[in-house]
Amino acid sequence: ATVIELAWLDGLGGYKGRSNWYDDKLSRNGTLLYNSMPSGMKEPWDSSRNEIRMLDVEPNGVEAFATYLKKYSDAGELPQDQ
């Protein structure tokens, strides 16, 4: 599946690749996304401007994606600080 989101410009680079859509967002070694980014994308975010992001995630299909969303919701099994 592909998630499309409207977000702050350079937010993923500014937050060191920490995306709520990927499991490694709290990785001590940096996220796969951040480690894959060219240096020109690693800049402070700009909350006065936006970008549209397209992020590929593992679930494929409606039911798998619904389960994936639940994992990160208030009803999911992860601690709320994740």
Predicted confidence at residue 3, as pLDDT, reads 92
What single string gives the DSSP state of each residue in 8-27?
Answer: EETHHHHTTT--TTSTTTT-
> From first to last of its 82 residues, what are the pLDDT tens digits of the chain?
899 999 999 999 999 999 989 989 889 888 999 999 999 999 999 999 999 999 999 999 999 999 988 887 777 776 666 5
Predicted confidence at residue 20, as pLDDT, reads 86
In this structure, the number of other CB atoms found within 10 A of the CB of residue 20 comes to 11
